[in-house]
């Protein structure tokens, strides 16, 4: 689905047909935002034909799962970022790739599925057309990218809540799925940390003052987004350390449980061993005093009881039982 917004001099139009793109782009005083949701081959071909995008950039859009990056071409930039949100069913982190092409008077975004920060900004821009003033291109890109980065903060808060719940489960009662949930959460955290770390490098490049497409006054806004990513990076690193500690605590608890089982088995073995020693001696096929005497049987039973009781007391004293 293709959506096009055309802006010039405080006026914003949304009723732009794809056939008008070429003529609109020819006006250097106008700004065009083209948003492609779930682009098919024909729409990707339109991007390549009208904007002249490089086939490698189109391939990155089509294949997805690209690392966040910024590629410099002759007359435009290609940026890959990600939108993060929580899945409605299991609250796991869901990442959506967003490809952003930025030229002299246009921004083109591509993504699969709904990206709420883009949809929210589209609605706000239609209500307040002057939102991108005084430098439309730079501020349009800022609003789009800032919305994507801001989507990470609710996800990070939810990850913290899940870590707290997991820690309560670790110390209040383990379940068979505890380790599975811990490892799944750790994998989500590592994936998000890798995305945020790469995007930090992207905004480090965008916040430099040698970007010809941006006015100098817009650089400070990209610096602000860069600071957000630095804070997110530190937060996710702390969460990762917490999960590493939780994993160590889980393994320690499992090891302690195993030690308790081994001690109990050792105590049981000790009690049975001394009793078996008496029965084995009395059951030998040789003659010894009291073997055929009923009192000898009673004496052997008493000996086994005393030795078993003594072994049990030793095990209790050693805290094996």
Give this prediction's pTM.
0.77
In a domain, 26, yes or no: yes
133, 153, 188 — which closes off a domain? 133
Whether 31 maps to a domain, the answer reads: yes
Is 151 contained in some domain?
no
- The verdict on residue 244 lying in a domain is no
Total domains, the chain: 2
Q: Is 72 helix (H, G, I), strand (E, B) or coil?
A: strand
The pLDDT tens digits along the chain (321 residues) read: 788 888 888 888 887 777 778 788 888 888 989 899 998 888 888 888 888 888 888 888 888 788 999 998 888 899 999 998 887 676 788 899 999 999 888 899 999 988 999 999 999 998 888 888 888 888 999 999 999 999 999 999 888 888 888 878 777 766 667 778 888 888 888 889 999 999 999 988 888 756 656 677 778 888 899 999 999 999 999 988 888 887 777 777 777 778 778 878 877 887 777 777 777 766 666 666 666 666 666 777 777 788 778 777 777 777 766
Domain boundary, last residue among 133, 148, 180: 133
190 found inside a domain: no
CATH number at residue 63: 3.30.460.20
Stated as kind and residue range, the H or E segment containing 314 is: helix 294-317
End residue of a domain, out of 99, 133, 167: 133
Residue 302 lies in a domain: yes
Q: Is 174 exposed, middle or buried (0-12, 13-18, 19+ CB in 10 A)?
A: middle
At 174 the pLDDT is 65
Q: Is the peptide bond before 134 cis (omega within 30 degrees of 0)?
A: yes
Residues of the domain holding 81 = 1-133
At residue 300, the pLDDT reads 73
Q: What CA–CA distance (Å, rounded) separates 239 from 160?
A: 7
In a domain, 166, yes or no: no
Does 248 map to a domain? no
Q: Starting at the earlier edge strand, list the strands of the sheet with 11-13.
A: 11-13, 2-8, 31-37, 106-111, 93-102, 77-86, 69-72
- Write down the residue that tokens 């945020």 correspond to: 196
């Amino acid at each position: 689905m293709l959506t096009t917004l055309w802006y010039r001099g405080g006026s914003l139009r949304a009723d732009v047909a794809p056939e008008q793109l070429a003529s609109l782009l020819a006006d250097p005083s106008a700004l065009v935002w083209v948003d492609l949701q779930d682009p098919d081959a024909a729409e990707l071909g339109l991007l390549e034909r009208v904007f002249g995008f490089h086939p490698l950039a189109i391939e990155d859009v089509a294949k997805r799962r690209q690392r966040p990056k910024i590629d410099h071409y002759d007359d435009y930039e290609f940026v890959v970022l990600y939108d993060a949100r929580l899945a409605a069913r299991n609250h796991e982190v869901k990442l959506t790739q967003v490809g952003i092409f930025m030229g002299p008077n246009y921004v083109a975004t591509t993504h699969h599925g709904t990206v709420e920060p883009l949809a929210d900004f589209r609605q706000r821009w239609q209500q307040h057309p002057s939102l991108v003033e005084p430098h439309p291109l730079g501020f349009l890109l800022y609003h789009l990218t800032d919305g994507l980065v801001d989507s990470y903060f609710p996800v990070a808060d939810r990850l913290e809540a899940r870590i707290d719940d997991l820690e309560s489960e670790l110390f209040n009662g383990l379940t068979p799925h505890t380790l599975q949930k811990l490892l799944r959460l750790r994998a989500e955290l590592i994936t998000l940390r890798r995305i945020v770390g790469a995007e930090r490098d992207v905004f480090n490049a965008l916040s430099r003052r040698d970007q010809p497409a941006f006015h100098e006054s817009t650089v400070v806004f990209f610096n602000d987004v860069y600071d957000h990513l630095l804070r997110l990076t530190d937060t996710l690193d702390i969460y990762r350390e917490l999960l590493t500690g939780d994993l160590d605590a889980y393994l320690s608890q499992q090891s302690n449980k195993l030690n308790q089982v081994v001690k109990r088995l050792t105590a049981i073995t000790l009690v049975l061993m001394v009793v078996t020693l008496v029965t084995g001696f009395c059951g030998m096929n040789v003659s010894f005093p009291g073997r055929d005497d009923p009192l000898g049987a009673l004496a052997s039973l008493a000996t086994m009881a005393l030795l078993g009781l003594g072994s049990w007391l030793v095990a209790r004293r050693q805290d094996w039982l």
